[in-house]
Structure 1
Amino acid sequence: MKLEEIIKPLLSWYEENKRDLPWRREPTPYHVWVSEIMLQQTRVEAVKGYYERFLTALPQIEDLAACPENKLLKLWEGLGYYNRVKNMQKAAKEIVLKYGGELPADYEEILELPGIGSYTAGAISSIAYGLKKPAVDGNVLRVLSRITENGEDILKQSVKRRVEQELEAVMPADRPGAFNQSLMELGAVVCIPNGMAKCQVCPVQHLCSARAHGTVLEYPKKAAKKQRRIEEKTVLLIQNGQEYAVCRRPDKGLLAGLYEFPNMDGWLTEEEVIRAVEALKLMPLHIKNAGEAKHIFSHVEWHMKGYVVRVASTEKRAGNLLFIDKKESKGKYPIPSAFSAYRKYIEEDE
């Protein structure tokens, strides 16, 4: 099978079956960029609302470049991986300075911008500018590994680069964006991960080696992932009337610069929590269990145990605690989704 044989059936299928997605209706360079960054690690259905909200607040690249960080992180709240949007803002500032607020119509220049890799650069170049550049992500690698029955590890950069070269050599010069999207769409709705592909509705089933040999579930091949590190934490929901305590995380590292509920390493008992709150020069009045929760990052899992602690008003406070009004927090202080299980304890009295 020659790779170029998939082009015609794929494009015909895509035109008839593509999903109606907001970013496809007006595929400007900025819109494609925002959607592709949001879609990393996040389901399409979940992204739709974030996409509309983000562009309503920041309709132009200049708006993204000038946006205060707190507002920017609040717009991104719930999407996770906050470095993605921080890099977007860095890139936006560079685009304003170097390119007058417009993404350059050049693949290599796009690739040099902060936070943009070959996949995103390829998507912007092909979809928005009609340039003959591939956009190879996990969906595309899975589709092609099954079609060609290639057993190489798709997590290797060398494999991804080879696939990019092979696709660039055969992709149609007149419809590169549609071709890239047809491969993405096939991987998203037909040649799906974590289960049997829907081969009966695949437009290239007659060209697929894995289907012919009954080996679809054996592809793609991936090296075993390293086991995530588990960290136990105690989360404190410290309340003073209608205010509750947050603190800002360091500017570098996991969830950099975001606000969080005060927390400590390890699982503390009620007595230990009371002593910890007193060490913050606060006077605990009442404590109750807020239950357990878990949040999974790429390389670490947080296993959390929470306590609601009501304290008496005091002017003497230790550490970097900031007491904020419940209503005020919704618009100003982005709290990462890692703590979403505990937000209800702050909001329940509203």
Structure 2
Amino acid sequence: MRDSPQFNLSAELLDWYDRHAREMPWRVGPADRAAGVVPDPYRVWLSEVMLQQTTVAAVRDYFTRFTTRWPTVQALAAAPDDQVMGEWAGLGYYARARNLLKCARVVADKHNGRFPDTYDALLDLPGIGPYTAAAISAIALDRPETVLDGNVERVMARLYDIHDPLPGSKPVLKERAAALTPELRPGDYAQAVMDLGATICTPKSPACGICPVQTPCLARAAGTQPELPKKSPKKPKPTRFGHVYIAQHPNGAFLLERRPDKGLLGGMLGWPGSDWSETPPEAPPFSAEWRALNGEVRHTFTHFHLVLRIWTAPLPEGTEPDGLTLLPKHDFKPGDLPTVMRKAYDMWRGQ
């Protein structure tokens, strides 16, 4: 696609963004940029990590709490793991939180608290992949890198009427997006395309009549925009099963276990339990008259559904099985548990 002499796509989109940019707590808007306010790479990085697989609405409060408690990357790097994981609880995909701490500590220790200023150097940091490196480079450093999220993929697929399904079409969509990225204001342009996809070029019922780039849009001309982008069929998610055991001491303390650093819910405190598989064995943490609660907990992870059976028993005086933690009642905060473990707690409390 080539702009006509009367239509410059990036200029039109930037003009639209200057008037309609969404306000977000991590964003330096067009007016602020014009006044000389420079985006903070720490805030850009933190928001992008939080926004992976999560909505803007869900992230706002988490971002505000994180930046209030840890306003700089050095402050985050110095924070205890448990505090950070507790604040992260509910956002899911806990490997992101572990990598968040690793990255903050590398930036603080090896880069004097400053994020590297090149795409390649950003890629060397823990937990930063091509998308996040491009986002920091463009939005925080104003480098002409190509930021390709789901919104940008949808806009490009429609602009160029590309029918090859995702994820196979990603390289072509990135190539198209790169060709449109301007040398001037690339950070604002990247956010403009994302805002366009989020507010106008939406997955369903795109508002083509008010789109600032409707003129060169090939899908609109062909009438194919509602069906784009196409996606390859997803494989059905398998279902796994498991058991969890909730035991409380007469003084109110709970028996918890810390999961291994690697894997799902890595490093998080949760209830002792079995492996998650098609036929998990019962594996109580100590001998007792365990009682199964009515019902079951259901939770969906990225690659599978999980069904948990909940067992409960009183914790005998003096019992503290090896490898487990007896957490005093005043230190126990249900909100610090990962979502699936909090669901188990809510069922236990209800019964």
With normalisation by structure 1, the TM-score equals 0.87
Matches within 5 A, 1:172-183: 172-183=182-193
Q: How does 1:1-350 map to 2 (within 5 A)?
A: 1-2=1-2, 5-25=8-28, 27-156=39-168, 159-193=169-203, 195-241=204-250, 242-264=252-274, 265=276, 277=284, 280-282=286-288, 287=291, 289-307=293-311, 309-330=312-333, 334-345=336-347
CA distance in 2, matches of 1:98, 1:162: 36
Q: Which amino acid in 2 is paired with 1:320?
A: G
Structure 1 pair 163–214 and aligned structure 2 pair: CA distance change class (3 A): closer
Question: Which amino acid in 2 is paired with 1:215?
Answer: T
Contact (CA 8 Å) 2:103, 2:126: kept in 1 or not? yes
- The alignment partner of 1:22 has SS state of coil
CA spacing shift, 1:312–1:165, aligned 2, 3 Å: closer
**CA-to-aligned-CA distance 1:311-346 (integer Å, 9 cap, x gap):** 153224445332323331229x94211223233356
1:191-218 Cα offsets, whole Å, 9 max, x none, are: 222x222223322222222222221232
| Partner Cα separation in structure 2 for residue 17 and residue 290 of structure 1 | 51
Stretch moving more, 215-224 or 74-83: 215-224
Seq. identity, %: 36
SS of residue paired to 2:243:
strand
Instruction: State the distance in 2 between where 1:164 and 1:312 align.
Output: 56
Cα contact 1:244–1:346 (8 A) shared by 2:
no
- By percentage of residues, which structure has more helix? 1
**Which ranges in structure 2 are unaligned for 5 or more consecutive residues?**
29-37
Contact 1:234 1:266 in 2 (8 A): no
| Unaligned runs of at least 5 residues, structure 1 | none
Moved more, 44-53 or 246-255: 246-255
How many pairs were matched up?
A: 336
1:219 partner letter: L
**1:2 partner amino acid:** R
Write the distance in 1 (CA, Å) between the matches of 2:288 and 2:190: 58
Q: Distance in 1 between matches of 2:326 and 2:347?
A: 15
In the alignment, the residues of structure 1 paired with residue 277 and residue 184 of structure 2 have an alpha-carbon distance, to the nearest angstrom, of 58
Q: CA RMSD in A?
A: 2.6
Per-residue CA shift, 1:4-52, capped at 9, x if unaligned? 8421221122121121110114731110000011011111111011001
**Per-residue deviation at 1:348?**
6.7
CA contact (8 A) 1:240 1:310 kept: no
- CA change 1:312–1:330 in 2 (3 A) is closer
Cα distance change of structure 1 residues 41 and 20 upon mapping to structure 2, 3 Å threshold: same
Q: Distance in 2 between matches of 1:197 and 1:321?
A: 52
Amino acid at match of 1:342: A
Normalising to structure 2: TM-score of the pair? 0.86
Where 1:246 maps in the other structure, the secondary structure is strand
Alignment deviations for residues 112-160 of structure 1 (CA, whole Å, 9 cap, x no partner): 212112221111111111111111111101111011111223313xx43
Amino acid at match of 1:280: F
Contact 2:310 2:348 in 1 (8 A): no
Output the amino acid matched with 2:286: L
SS in 2 for 1:207: coil
Partner SS state of residue 295, structure 2: strand
- Post-superposition Cα deviations, 1:165-215, rounded to whole Å, max 9, x if no partner, equal 44334322221011100111111122222x222223322222222222221
Match of 2:31 in 1: none
CA 1:16–1:347: 2 relative to 1, 3 Å: farther
Does the 8 Å CA contact 2:201/2:207 hold for their aligned counterparts? yes
